[in-house]
Every structure is written in C-alpha cells, then in structure tokens.
Structure 1
Amino acid sequence: MSGASVPVVGAPAPGLTLPDTHGTPVALSALRGAPVAVVFFPFAFSGICTGELCELRDNVAAFDEVGVRLLAVSCDPMFTLRAWAEQEGFPFDLLSDFWPHGAAARAYGVFDESTGHALRGSFLVDADGVLRWSVVNPRGQARPLSAYRAALAELSA
C-alpha cells in the first residue's frame, strides 16, 4: 500500500493532472463547477477491470443524468489505455498515471508500492472540489454499480 492515506470525505480532494489517451492533460481543478467521479483501477485489459469499466460504460447515463464527469485512472501507459478505450468503446476519459509513476494514486492513498499499480478506489468529488464519497476495495474485488448509484443519488439530493 501507499504511504499516503485515503482522503477523508468532507475534505478537499487531492489535485491531479494526468494525460488522457491522446496526451491531453486533464486537471481536476479545471473541472470545478461540476462533480467528478475519479475511478482508479489496476490494469487495462485485465478481467475484473474490464468488467468494471464496461459496466460503467453501459450505465454512463446514471452519471450523465446528474452531471457527473467520469474519469478512469490507471498506471498504464497512455498508448495502452488508448488501445483499450478504442477496443471497448469507453465514452469517458481514461487517464494515465504512468509518470511520475502512480503519483495520483499515491495522492489518493490507493497506490500499491509492492506491485506498482493502483488499487480499486473510487472517489466522488463535488462541484467545489470536496470529496463526498469514496470506496476502496481489496485486490480482486469489483466495486458494485449499486454503490455508485447510491453515491450519485446522495450527491444529487
């Protein structure tokens, strides 16, 4: 695990600026004014990660309906994420935390130092940049869509 701890709900979300699948930097601070879901995942093209992100893809309307921008983040290189996004047709941004390796995952307390990848951590940041919900699941355990739906309902309440 990372030395950093998972940010506390109610505190400002850690900043991040990462390249998307085309190398364009995406900064969390530039997205203020609308809520954002930051979804860390271990590896592109792996079984559980593909299942989770395809489920988000197939249910992206739940995020769109409440104006939440979805960002999926891994330590994979940008080109790997681009190939995976094209293969799976993801309608949301995939961001590369490849270099400096795992810096964003470390800031969110979800970087596994022993294996060099992000754990399954999801964070819902409100329009003011405050963390409103988070979940971090152990290795091998997918995050249920119902948890996202509950967090989105709470945010829009």
Structure 2
Amino acid sequence: MAIEPGTKAPDFRLRNQHGQTVGLADYRGAKNVVLLFYPFAFTGVCTGELCALRDELPAFVNDDTQLLAVSNDSPFALRVFSEQEGLEYPLLSDFWPHGEVSRAYGVFDEDKGCAVRGTFIIDKEGVVRWTVVNALPDARDLNDYVSALATL
C-alpha cells in the first residue's frame, strides 16, 4: 500500500546514473520534490514517460522543484539509458538492497521484482502532499503533476 498524502516522506540515499549519492534530505527546506518510481529503463511506457518529462523539464527542475526518478535498475544501466534518451535529471538506482526505497514508499511489486508507477509530490518540509499509483502498463498524466505542484 502506497504511503498517503500527509505522511512524512521516508528519507533515502541512492546512487544516480553518474555514481553520485542523492538523498531526499538534500532538498529539504529548499525545493519541492517530484519523486517518480518507474519499473525499468529501456521499456516502452517507461521510456515514453521519462522522455515526456525531459520534454517538459522546466516544469519539474527549477528553483522551486526537483524531479527524482527511481527504478530498480543498476546505476550502470541507468547511465546508458540516460545518455541514449538525453535524460538530464537524476535517475536513481534502487537496485541494492533490491527495492528498499520502493518498499518504503509502498510501490514495490514483489511478484514482478520492480516498482510500479508511483509518483509522490513532496513539499519542502518533507511531507507527501499528493500521490498517484498506476499499474505497470498504465502511463501517468504529467499535467496532474503540474496541477499538484501549483497547490504548494
């Protein structure tokens, strides 16, 4: 069960596609965070969603907001994926311990071994303010993220 709005967001530290460690606390007090979980790099729906975010990046990476995308892929796979698709924002690896952060947010599918499509809008104080969780084949609507961010 995914964590609900009003809940303090579980903190984490994960490696990005360049091997750097990124944590949720890095943005506390400074930026709202769009935390997006997706199943796997190089898959059709995931690539479509992440490229749509790339194409609208100023709405999700700016002085007030930071996009963090999390999958259960290794950092090495994420690096190739980001280079291939021109993804300039952090792709975080929840590879090992496998799915630990995805589980903390309640979006890890134990049968599939990956995160489902969960998005959490987290305010500057670290509280989840909005969330959506879709099944593996169902893409999310980026306009919903923009609307949720506008309420903060």
TM-score by length of 1: 0.92
Aligned to 1:93: 90
CA distance in 1, matches of 2:136, 2:42: 16
Distance (whole Å) between structure 1 residues aligned to residue 148 and residue 63 of structure 2: 11
Helix, strand or coil for the counterpart of 2:52?
helix
Query: What aligned pairs does 1:44-55 form with structure 2 within 5 A after superposition?
Result: 44-55=41-52
- Of 14, 26, 39, the match for 2:10: 14
User: Percent identity between the aligned chains?
Assistant: 52
Tell me the residue number matched to 1:152: 149
Alignment gaps of 5+ in structure 1: none
- Matching residue of 2:59: 62
Q: What SS does the corresponding residue of 1:64 show, helix, strand or coil?
A: coil
User: What is residue 26 of structure 2 aligned with on the other side?
Assistant: 30
1:121 to 111, 118, 123: 118
Matched, 1:138 2:128: no
After superposition, what is the alpha-carbon deviation per residue over 1:58-89, rounded to whole angstroms, capped at 9, x for unaligned?
Answer: 00111235621000000001100000001111
Q: Which moved more, 1:60-69 or 1:92-101?
A: 60-69
Inter-CA distance 81–65: structure 2 relative to 1 (3 Å threshold): closer
Pick the aligned partner of 1:73 from 70, 74, 91: 70
List alignment gaps of at least 5 residues for structure 2: none
Which stretches of structure 1, 4 residues or more, deviate above 4 A after TM superposition? Answer: none
> 1:83 aligned to 2:54?
no
* Alpha-carbon offset, residue 30 of structure 1: 2.0
1:103 aligns with 2:61: no
For 1:136 and 1:153, how far apart are their aligned partners in 2?
20
RMSD over aligned Cα, in angstroms? 1.1
Equivalenced residues, count? 151
TM-score by length of 2: 0.95
Render the CA deviation track for 1:8-51: whole Å, top value 9, x for unaligned: 20111011110011221111112211111110000100000000
